[in-house]
Amino acid sequence: MRYEIRVDGHMSKTLTSAFPELDHVLMSGHTVLYGSVIDEAHLYGLLARCRSLGLRVLEMRQLPE
């Protein structure tokens, strides 16, 4: 499964390095993390990591394969 997670603000290089399994792109006012997610537990782990780093998730969606 491929997912996209939009986060409020521009994430620093240090913050994006906390998500080595995902690629990222900086857009106007937010950062988009995207890539393969193994299963539901991995997805919830990514969201927990966002929360623990104080990131505000704006949107999360599954991408077509």
pLDDT tens profile 11-34: 999 999 999 999 999 999 999 999
pLDDT tens profile 30-54: 999 999 999 999 999 999 999 999 9
Please name the residues in contact with 46: beta carbons below 8 A apart, sequence gap of 6 or more. 3, 5, 19, 22, 33, 37
pTM of the model: 0.91
